[in-house]
């Protein structure tokens, strides 16, 4: 007698598969949690795929206005719901990047003195260009486009 198990096995670390993550991204559900779970498993490639999908899912919401006054000169602010970090390297010059760290997919945590820092393993990125200033990350944060409209900023 065969006892075929049709339930997909769950990996020991309870990682979401790429397919599960993409499905979640399509449904707009818990994408950040999925990316974090994958990060905990060390599947950097899957994290980047999930991050790309998540960015696409978030892009429709990315038209949400961000107050320019909330972005300090020389600093910035992380908008986790948009998976975006917005910076203002010099007065009136706004930049935006994916806030998903290119190392293992954590959300970057802070922007100060022209540096975006990831709290997970200490990677640092240039707040003006997104380029890596300090590893372990080796790839820049992907840039997004920022549109200034009155007192607000839109990111896409």
> Is the distance from CB of 87 to CB of 128 less than 8 angstroms?
yes
- Closest distance to ligand FES from the beta carbon of 14 (Å): 19
CA distance 54 to 32: 8
Q: Which residues are registered as beta bridge partners of 42?
A: none
Structure tokens at 62: 């990315």
- Closest distance to ligand FES from the beta carbon of 43 (Å): 12
Is 83 a residue that touches ligand FES (CB under 6 A)? no
CA distance 114 to 82: 21
- Closest distance to ligand FES from the beta carbon of 103 (Å): 3
Is 120 a residue that touches ligand FES (CB under 6 A)? yes
C-alpha count within 13 angstroms, C-beta hemisphere, residue 109? 8
Q: How many residues does the chain have?
A: 156
Out of 66, 103, 144, 155, the residue judged to bind ligand FES by CB under 6 A:
103
Neighbours of 143 (CB within 10 A): 12
Is 98 a residue that touches ligand FES (CB under 6 A)? no
Out of 15, 51, 71, 118, the residue judged to bind ligand FES by CB under 6 A:
118
Out of 74, 136, 142, 152, the residue judged to bind ligand FES by CB under 6 A:
136
Nearer to ligand FES, 39 or 82 (CB): 39
Q: Which residues are registered as beta bridge partners of 126?
A: 115
Out of 32, 50, 85, 106, the residue judged to bind ligand FES by CB under 6 A:
106
By the criterion CB under 6 A, which residues form the site for ligand FES? 101, 103-106, 118, 120-123, 136-137
């Amino acid at each position: 007698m065969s006892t075929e198990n049709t339930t997909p096995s769950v990996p020991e670390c309870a990682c979401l598969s790429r397919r599960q993550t993409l499905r979640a991204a399509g449904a707009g559900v818990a994408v950040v949690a999925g990316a974090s779970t994958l990060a905990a498993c060390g599947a950097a490639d899957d994290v980047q795929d999930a991050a790309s999908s998540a960015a696409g899912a978030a892009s429709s919401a990315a038209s949400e206005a961000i107050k320019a006054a909330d972005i300090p000169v020389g600093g910035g602010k992380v908008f986790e719901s948009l998976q975006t970090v917005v910076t203002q390297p010099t007065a009136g010059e706004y930049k935006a990047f994916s806030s998903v760290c290119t190392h293992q997919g954590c959300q970057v945590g802070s922007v100060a003195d022209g540096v975006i820092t990831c709290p997970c393993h200490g990677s640092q990125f240039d707040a003006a260009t997104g380029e890596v200033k300090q590893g372990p990350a080796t790839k820049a944060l992907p840039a997004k486009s920022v549109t200034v409209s009155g007192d607000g900023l839109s990111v896409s």
